[in-house]
Amino acid sequence: MDLFEKCLKYDVAKNARKQGLYPYFHYLESGQDIVVNMEGKRVIMLGSNNYLGLTSHPDVIKASMEATKKYGTGCSGSRFLNGTLDLHIQLEKELAEFLHKEDVVTFSTGFQSNLGIISAVAGRNDIIICDKENHASIYDGCRLSFAKMLRYEHSNMEELEKLLQTVPNDKGCLIVTDGVFSMGGDICKLPEIVRLARKYGARVMVDDAHGLGVLGKNGRGTAEHFGLEKEVDIIMGTFSKSLASLGGYMAASAEVCDFVRHNSRPFIFSASIPPACIASALAALNILRNEPQRVQNLRDITEYMRKTLKERNIPIRQSEAPIIPIDTIDDWRTFYACKALLEDGVYVNPVITPAVPAGEAIIRTSYTATHTKELMDEAADIIQNVFEHKLPPVEYFNDLREKMNK
Ligand SMILES: Cc1ncc(COP(=O)(O)O)c(C=O)c1O
């Protein structure tokens, strides 16, 4: 059998292109911001994770340019050997202080952080228990660890407890959860997770990719939000969202970080974060520390948009973070809505199967501390017009699917 048969048969993207509904790989001709220039048009950005609006902040840009001038464009090697700069050490130290943990290890991306942390701390003789809606990188980290993975229905604490009861005494156990779930925008039930972990002797790891800069009075994330910073054993996060850069990290005890530094293959066998990215993450962290009102601005503008969309009868889902999912139900209907919105000047993210169960497709909208009420009113007008006048009902797409299958 030809290995490439699956590629030759793959027609999902082709069908979407044929229908003129392909929603991916649109390109920007401007920086990532609240309004962007996308393929020649002014577009309101409701689909980025630039939560604090720092990708265009002058201090962040200046820091990355100065770092490039001083250190060059890349580190040409692993943190383990030639690729550690004083900047890496400074960022790890400052982040550990900010997150109230003993130590921090940085990785080249957020995705790689989950691969590197989970595969180092869990092995063949261990058990990892995951929320079913955890991020893909957590799943891949679990696979890479060779530990046995168990999964509970999203945020179902009874199921989590039942799974914990099956863990034999001679096995280590790690509970891993997203802090803020990236698609639904809901927050994990951390107090209950921590309580159960203590009861059954498990460790807790929180992926706070969407929690840092978003939750807690000071933007320290999900653990700060619940007052449980000491109780979470490993806080993982990324620099690609609130911190306007690229890279990821784990914050934990000195012993666990030291172990990961010397045993994590994705950490050891990969080049370190380039100077510009480390310097911009440091500058963004500095702004987060000194301007916590940005976190409040983000909450206020998200609340404003939630209220505005509700008043206009847009079918939004309940969520707590700066992510507001809008129900579009059908995958093709989701593509159609994204296209119509983009034509009218709003970019949003389509979320379809297998990222969500069939029939539960959504448009994921996300917000930035620097979004203004005027801009949100403009975006809400466009969304309302598309949902009221342009978006056909689900049945239309059932017919379309049947036609395509013939
Ligand atoms: C929950 C979660 N974890 C990890 C990642 C990976 O982070 P990065 O994109 O910085 O590699 C993401 C990115 O979307 C995420 O949403």
Of the three residues 290, 324, 358, the one that is the final residue of a domain is 290
Please tell me the distance between residue 245's alpha carbon and the centre of ligand 1 in angstroms.
12
The predicted-structure confidence for 179-189, as pLDDT tens digits, reads as follows 999 999 999 99
Please give the pLDDT value at position 399.
82
Among this protein's residues, is 182 annotated catalytic?
yes
b/e code 148-178 from CB counts within 10 Å (16+ = b): bbbbbebbeeebbeebbeebeeeebbbbbbb
The predicted-structure confidence for 9-47, as pLDDT tens digits, reads as follows 999 899 999 999 999 999 999 999 999 999 999 999 999
Please give the pLDDT value at position 403.
76
Mark whether 350 and 307 lie in a shared domain. yes
Is any atom of ligand 1 closer than 6 Å to the C-beta of 238? yes
Region of residue 327 (phi > 0: left; psi between -120 and 50: alpha; otherwise: beta): beta
CATH of the domain at 346: 3.90.1150.10
Q: What is the Cα–Cα distance from 301 to 298, expressed in whole angstroms?
A: 5
Judge contact between 131 and 151, C-beta under 8 A: yes
Q: What is the Cα–Cα distance from 187 to 210, expressed in whole angstroms?
A: 10
Average pLDDT, the chain: 97
Give the pLDDT band of residue 250 (cuts 50, 70, 90): very high
Is any atom of ligand 1 closer than 6 Å to the C-beta of 137? yes
Cα radius of gyration (the chain): 22
Mark whether 138 and 152 lie in a shared domain. yes
Is any atom of ligand 1 closer than 6 Å to the C-beta of 109? yes
Of the three residues 290, 315, 335, the one that is the final residue of a domain is 290
Please give the pLDDT value at position 337.
98
The predicted-structure confidence for 150-167, as pLDDT tens digits, reads as follows 999 999 999 999 999 999
Mark whether 203 and 166 lie in a shared domain. yes
Evaluate if residue 406 carries a pLDDT over 80.
Answer: no
Range 349-355 average pLDDT: 93
Backbone φ and ψ of 59, nearest 5°: -65, -35
Please tell me the distance between residue 394's alpha carbon and the centre of ligand 1 in angstroms.
31
Least confident of 5-19, 61-75, 83-97: 5-19
Evaluate if residue 309 carries a pLDDT over 90.
Answer: yes
Beta carbons within 8 Å of 214's beta carbon, 6+ residues apart: 51, 180, 221, 242, 295, 298, 321, 322
Please give the pLDDT value at position 103.
98
Residue nearest to atom 15 of ligand 1 (CA): 209
Our count of domains for the chain comes to 2
Please give the pLDDT value at position 404.
74
Q: Positive or negative, the Cα torsion across 378, 24, 211, 88?
A: negative
Please give the pLDDT value at position 161.
98
Mark whether 199 and 260 lie in a shared domain. yes
The predicted-structure confidence for 102-138, as pLDDT tens digits, reads as follows 999 999 999 999 999 999 999 999 999 999 999 999 9
Mark whether 267 and 317 lie in a shared domain. no
Judge contact between 371 and 343, C-beta under 8 A: no
Residue nearest to atom 8 of ligand 1 (CA): 110
- The residue range of the domain holding 15 is 5-51+292-405
Please give the pLDDT value at position 66.
98
Ligand 1 probe mutation, 137, 154, 183, 246, most atoms within 8 A of CB:
137
Q: What is the Cα–Cα distance from 93 to 104, expressed in whole angstroms?
A: 7
Q: What is the Cα–Cα distance from 64 to 33, expressed in whole angstroms?
A: 17
Q: Which tokens in the block code for residue 242?
A: 């609130």
Length of the chain: 406
Mark whether 254 and 298 lie in a shared domain. no
Beta carbons within 8 Å of 16's beta carbon, 6+ residues apart: 22, 23, 335
Hey, which residues does 234 pair with through a beta bridge? 205
Give the pLDDT band of residue 397 (cuts 50, 70, 90): confident
User: Looking at ligand 1, which atom is closest to the CA of residue 181?
Assistant: 1
CA separation, residue 5 to residues 2, 9, 11 (Å) = 5, 6, 12
Which burial class, exposed, middle or buried, applies to 251 when counting CB atoms under 10 A from its CB (0-12, 13-18, 19+)? Answer: buried
Judge contact between 213 and 185, C-beta under 8 A: no
Q: What is the Cα–Cα distance from 192 to 195, expressed in whole angstroms?
A: 5
Is any atom of ligand 1 closer than 6 Å to the C-beta of 207? yes
Mark whether 40 and 61 lie in a shared domain. no
Mark whether 304 and 243 lie in a shared domain. no
Of the three residues 290, 305, 324, the one that is the final residue of a domain is 290
Give the pLDDT band of residue 401 (cuts 50, 70, 90): confident
Calculate what percentage of the chain has a pLDDT beyond 90: 94
The predicted-structure confidence for 356-386, as pLDDT tens digits, reads as follows 889 999 999 999 999 999 999 999 999 999 9
